Structure 1
């Protein structure tokens, strides 16, 4: 790998924005690991609950009208709760089971090479006029493979652009924008949907015990978001980034690895298997009195929606097996659980993080600090007439800023949800709607935060084509994507709300219409 040209970067006077990014990086680097951060937060809740409880502070629960006093976690009752609940807080944490089950299927598809082959074929076989759209589409859809899209799509896109005589860094930027800023969107239900909805449900039930946020509650908006990201991303790439970069004068030698005949057969068989599976699900859903319909014959609610996770799980298992057997990755039944086990190894860091996050949320809820903050915050916003769509847009912007300091989407949501979901629920917002507002801000700035660990990986890819490229080059390329994506997302979010469109099956803006 080429060494960075420090002299080149240091001789240019830094702009105000670059100095701002340097400050963000400096502050962010001082933050502890997310696991340790949640340990500190849990300890803070313990101490604060003890201090506040001394003053006899209480709050009336808006749902039950029960007066709830702040409970001290340093009391005898609190210490017993900490010890007795630790295991249940972890094993009963809703996102844990949802995400692990999803990753059994998606992880299998990734380990046999299905998702990687699909992304390569989507980009390589696209007509030249549609290559930019194909790159962005592959990047966005690539979040099915979680962070793997950051490593697969940008260098592949750069090679495609290079082969077409276009600037390779423009292709790399488009691929990184799709995989990073488009991380939350998809036409499929992905692990992100399961993870965030699990946290949302866990928190929302502190206000309404019957409230459930399902993985499909943001689906309609996210499907539309894929189209928006492709169109806006292509505009930024072709009208802003490529003119800025100019003609590529480098001498990089990159050879594009095409999809093999065997992989093509695997993709074909996976497609056939997927269509058969979807057909069977439709037979169990569409006819009158079908088993996947609800008791009243409707789809919202229904066993189809409540059981969407196992339905998606078996879809990915089916197509992954079809592909794996075709390309020779699966030679016997024992290979299937072995690949699943490998996928679970990749989830070890997530499991460790969830243990600490689950304790923090549980302590926050048990102490009643969460409901106390939510009620008082909601009353403040109402008294100041700060309600409506623009308050939640402000929440999206706040999320975008905080994402510059906390890169992990699940960690940030576990931190913000206990405060903002109850607060907005008391203002009659559906928690799924609040979750959607969070996802837009969290996703858009993924590509400009210095805390993104894949920044270094993408920078290394950049230096294959431009030995002088540094962080300034990368930030300058990615900032237009972040701003345009966030801006268009907010505009669409407002329009979606004003038109009263559902953001998912049966999910409107407010709980009570």
Structure 2
């Protein structure tokens, strides 16, 4: 069956066509938040007319719906606009993280690491190396998506394997694994900031830290590598069959893999040594009972180390980036450091614009009390229906997978869902970080089949260079085994983690009282 026939036939492909059309008609996330704010104004006016109230379950305070279209509401929107933006929890966290991560990306550290890991891997471990590099490479954001899939295709072709299988493995690692890492990444800072804003609807001084999902995410890296490699070797590559170069771009077939230079390898080595020494010094300040970064009571959780994790990580990335850049020659003088940081910030401009609109919407939603009213009413409904256990949590994960098909931005989607679902989870006695973790699973697994994800189209373009017959239906069918199998295994892992009672992060469990 030809690719064109595959794309036209089948219930699933027809469903994907509908999703693609709907997703393509959605406005830019910035405009979407503007529309939602306008919709919220209308809803708050109507709900206020009916004097809707609920009783807060913990404080017994009566919560009254307020209208944004009242004099008080209009004045609030005008007077709070700047504070909503500058005081938005994820804003400062992500900007600061990107100073270090962006610098490391601009000097070439991540690209050299990715190439070295994949090219030097033994043939028998190449699939594992590709997926592992893809998962860890998400810390470099867009760079991983641009570098790893094409490189993986070239490596697979060079060792006599189907290049599209290598690209599929890389795309699965970067896309489905974008939220998992051994390191604390920008995603952790961004999501925890949004979760904190939502959690404070119920508990005003509550804070979710970037490390609150770290234990589970570390274990997820291992799961993703082994499961992803199994799917690639046992399902995806056999299904692709023998590679036929007659449909490939001949210029691509003749390309040679660009190995890192000796200077780049030396830079990588020195950067790793510098990072290792930094970690040793950090350990010396944490491990001893009277360590400088422990709390006054001698604990690690909580401690200055946990509360200051972002600047600690920032320093590490700047150190690694500077050592690499000086050795590899991408940093020639001290002035290059702030210049490269500024270039990295240019890549964040779209995020900053989006955050402005998202911050206004979340603030308005909280001010009207509609978020609290929705959460309390929903929790009461679920409790009356006795639907408050893991069935509810799994249903939430599946809901996220569906929403992700039409909203490609993970931060925008969580900014929309968190103000309702985080308080709802909390009223059902679940920790906000647990709700965030459930969201991350659902959001990650459908990234590679979302018709509105621009990287699906970008990777499709890479794949068409190896097979001109490849179309949208082809890449979806190629990536679907990763999505379905990893989703099931990730949910099972998530439930088992809960049943065993392992913390999902330092000092963070499933329930609020842990």
TM-score range, shorter chain: over 0.9
Aligned 8 A contact 1:292 1:302 in 2: yes
**Length-normalised TM-score, structure 2:** 0.97
| Correspondence 1:33 to 2:28 | yes
Q: 2:192 aligns with which of 188, 194, 197?
A: 197
Name the residue aligned to 1:316. 317
Change (3 A) 1:460 1:291: same
Once superposed, which parts of structure 1, at least 4 consecutive aligned residues long, lie more than 2 Å away? Answer: 10-13, 251-254
Q: Residues 355 and 22 (structure 1 numbering): CA distance in 2 closer, same or farther, change over 3 Å?
A: same
Gapped runs of 5+ residues in structure 1?
A: 1-6
Cα distance in 1 between the residues matched to 2:466 and 2:73: 59
2:106 counterpart of 1:111? yes
1:63–1:208 CA contact under 8 A, matched in 2: no
Against the structure 1 CA distance between its residues 373 and 11, is the aligned structure 2 distance closer, same or farther, given a 3 Å change threshold? closer
Mapping of residues 333-348 of structure 1, within 5 Å: 333-348=334-349
Find the aligned partners of 2:296 and 2:57 in 1 and give their Cα distance: 31
State the secondary structure of the residue aligned to 1:184. coil
What is the Cα deviation at residue 11 of structure 1?
8.1
- Partner of residue 77, structure 1: 72
* Corresponding position of 1:4: none
| C-alpha RMSD over aligned residues | 1.1
1:299 equivalent in structure 2: 300
Q: Deviation per CA, 1:57-99, whole angstroms, max 9, x where unpaired?
A: 1111223221121111111111110000000000000000000
1:130 pairs with 105, 118, 125, which one? 125
1:436 corresponding residue in structure 2: 437
CA offsets, 1:337-366, max 9 Å, x none? Answer: 000000100000000000000000000000
Q: Which residue of 1 aligns with 2:446?
A: 445
Measure, in 2, the Cα distance between the counterparts of 1:115 and 1:62.
49
Q: Quick one: structure 1 residues 8 and 312, their matched pair in 2 at CA, closer, same or farther if it must change by over 3 Å?
A: closer
Question: Distance between the aligned counterparts of 1:356 and 1:502, measured in 2?
Answer: 34
* 1:388 shift after superposition: 1.0
Q: Does 1:379 align with 2:397?
A: no
Residue number in structure 2 paired with 1:172: 167
Q: Write out aligned runs for 1:404-443 (5 A).
A: 404-443=405-444
The 8 Å contact of residues 294 and 300 in structure 2, kept in 1 or not, is answered as yes
Q: TM-score, normalised on structure 1?
A: 0.97
Superposed displacement of residue 133, structure 1:
0.3
Give the C-alpha shift of residue 8 in structure 1. Answer: 5.5
CA distance in structure 2 between the partners assigned to 1:101 and 1:480 by the alignment: 37
Alignment of 1:349 with 2:344, yes or no, is: no
In the alignment, the residues of structure 1 paired with residue 241 and residue 488 of structure 2 have an alpha-carbon distance, to the nearest angstrom, of: 26
Aligned mates of 1:275, 1:247 — CA distance in 2: 44
How many Å separate the matches in 2 of 1:453 and 1:12?
19
Change (3 A) 1:73 1:13: closer
State the partner residue of 2:250.
none
SS of the residue corresponding to residue 337 of structure 1 reads helix
Q: Within 2, Cα distance between the matches of 1:467 and 1:447? A: 20
Return the match for 1:68 from 49, 57, 63: 63
